[in-house]
Amino acid sequence: MPGFVSLVDQKRPVRLLTAALSSGNLPHAFLFTGIEGIGKKTAAMAFAMACNCFNLQKGPQAKQSDSIPASVPAEFSQIEPCGRCRSCKKIISGNHPDIILVTPAGAMIKVDQIRALCSKLVLKPYEASKRFAIIIGAQKLNPEAGNTLLKTLEEPPEHTVFILTALQASDILPTIVSRCQQIRFNPIPLNSLQTYIENAYGLDPAEASAIASMAGGSITCAESMTKSNWIDKRDWIIEEVEALPSRSINLCLAFSEALSKNREWLFTAFEIIKNWLRDIVVYKYIPEKIINKDLTEQIKASSKKATVNSLILKIKAIEKAERDIKSNSNLRLTLDSLMITLSKGY
Ligand SMILES: [Zn+2]
């Protein structure tokens, strides 16, 4: 289901883009900013499709197109590419010669990539009425690539629209930013993200709520958590943390060893433990505000026996361990010392 309709809760960017399209007066370049995984690239592709669609769906009837489910709010579908014409199909399959995508090669977008792009833009578009040069992750343009791009933006080729996506405008050369119309994409609101995960992956509402709360408003983050069985990993960590006070020191240190073996995941584990302890505090005052809603019964039980002071001490110990590990202190020693703090009773 490509098109604007596949975006989750990005009403304002869609409104700005469809207004630009309706006015027929497109800027030469856009800069889409916002965190990873909220639909910047999807919006860029939808816009390229809409600008070249042979059968653009306009007005309230856009909603009645059979490619758009009736559940989609009307404001999302005032203008939609049809998804079925020759141009739309080529864009969807990635085979449109005038929709040119540049993505980082490793850590950077290199000058050769931008030179190759610019040499294509010297020629006339093959078939599109509006050609699109879409640069994903423009914060990764190296300085030389940025300056080469700037030269092209200063004398923009005809019938061509640039779309740059980036985390924030401050990561891009100000001279580039000043030539773009900036559109900010907001993190996806919690409720929308929860509903999306529930519907797309068939999760139960409480589990979807826990994932949405941890995903920081990012769809791709929530999706990768769902696909990698994040709930199971979380359950394992919480079980271990809850068991620490009743365990021998050797078993406590075994948990620290297990955590140390997956450094990539370590900071996620810290977040999980902090949120768990936070939930136990929060349950005492505003139970409806807990994050791990699917574990309400366990949180309730722990909350009865825990004191706020002991929970805060533990949360502070985790924060200190995070800082120490980031500043390269000995990983095992830091984790061992943290486990000893966490193994003290509530
Ligand atoms: Zn179309």
CA of 183 from ligand 1 middle (Å) equals 24
| pLDDT above 70 (res 130) | yes
Distance separating alpha carbons of residues 106 and 60, to the nearest angstrom: 43
Closest CA to 183 of 163, 203, 199: 163
293 lies in the same domain as 169: no
pLDDT at 68: 47
Reference 39, options 188, 164, 175, 182; nearest CA is 188
Q: Are residues 30 and 59 in the same domain?
A: yes
Whether the pLDDT of residue 62 is over 80: the answer is no
Q: Are residues 246 and 271 in the same domain?
A: yes
Residue 118, number of CB atoms within 10 A of its CB: 15
Q: What is the pLDDT of residues 219-263, one digit of tens each?
A: 999 999 999 999 999 999 999 999 999 999 999 999 999 999 988
Pair 251, 179 in one domain: no
321: closest CA among 313, 292, 77? 313
Is residue 27 within 8 A of residue 162, CB to CB? The reply is no
Q: Is the same domain home to 56 and 19? A: yes
Shared-domain flag, residues 196 and 133: no
Same domain, yes or no: 42 and 178 = yes
Residue range 156-184, pLDDT digits in tens: 999 999 999 999 999 999 999 999 999 99
Distance 56 CA to ligand 1 centre (A): 6
| One domain, residues 171 and 213 | no
Number of domains present in the structure of the chain: 3
Percent of the chain with pLDDT over 90: 89
Residues 43 and 142 in one domain: yes
Q: Is 96 helix (H, G, I), strand (E, B) or coil?
A: coil
Residue 195 shares a structural domain with residue 248: no
Distance linking the first and last C-alpha atoms of the chain: 50
CATH code, domain carrying 151: 3.40.50.300
Task: For residue 138, count CB atoms less than 10 angstroms from its CB and return exposed for 0-12, middle for 13-18, buried for 19 or more.
Answer: buried
Determine the distance separating the centroid of ligand 1 and the alpha carbon of 46, expressed in angstroms.
10
- Domain holding 150, by residue range, is 4-184
Q: Are 8 and 193 in contact (CB under 8 A)?
A: yes
Q: How far is the CA of 323 from the centre of ligand 1 (A)?
A: 51
Please tell me the predicted confidence (pLDDT) of residue 265: 87
CA of 99 to the centre of ligand 1 (A): 14
State CA 123 to chain mean position distance: 35
Of 28-37, 75-84, 192-201, give the lowest mean pLDDT range: 75-84
* Ligand 1 centroid – CA 30 distance (Å): 22
Q: Are residues 221 and 234 in the same domain?
A: no
